Amino acid sequence: MANREAYNTCMKPYITGSKPKEQRKLDFCIGAKMCSGRSKSTEEAKQICLSAPPKEPRRSKKGCTIDLARVAECLAPRIQNLASIDTIVLAKLLQECSGQKAEQTLTRERFIKKCFKENGFTGDIKEAEKLRSMCTTQFKEQYEKG
């Protein structure tokens, strides 16, 4: 850990202050070369940073495609075996069949917790019982009917 702390201390002058974006990137690169010991002088580090090809930008996952036929093939028998289906169950099944990580499903308990925060719960037990009942009713109205 001492090495990491020394590196962070060394990098501090290269990453502080407000600079234009390109200058900030160059300074960061120079600092990284100097603090890691890859170059002996700032001029050498600057030369390395300017001559290095720019890194490819990361691809976002927005362009990913899903094989809908495969998802449907996986999903159909699972839906048929259910007596009833709601949005939470459907979201879980879609996540499993698509192999993609979906946004965290809003479960009943998460919904109630969020409802408590929104209604400014103070900690009174009687108030908690009333609020939990109200939040549970809201959850049922919003998510279990459709």
Q: Which residues in 12-31 are b (16+ Cβ under 10 Å) and which e?
A: eebeeeeeeeeeeebbebbb
Identity at 32, one-letter amino acid code: A
Looking at the structure of the chain, the number of domains it has is: 3
Which residue segment(s) compose the domain that 77 sits in? 62-103
Is the whole model's pTM more than 0.75, yes or no? no
Classify residue 111: in a domain, yes or no: yes
Integer Cα distance of 69 and 72 in angstroms: 5
At residue 92 the predicted structure's pLDDT band, cuts being 50, 70 and 90, is confident
Are both 7 and 47 inside the same structural domain? yes
Classify residue 29: in a domain, yes or no: yes
Integer Cα distance of 118 and 110 in angstroms: 12
Are both 110 and 99 inside the same structural domain? no
Are both 67 and 84 inside the same structural domain? yes
Taking residues 16-41, report their average pLDDT. 89
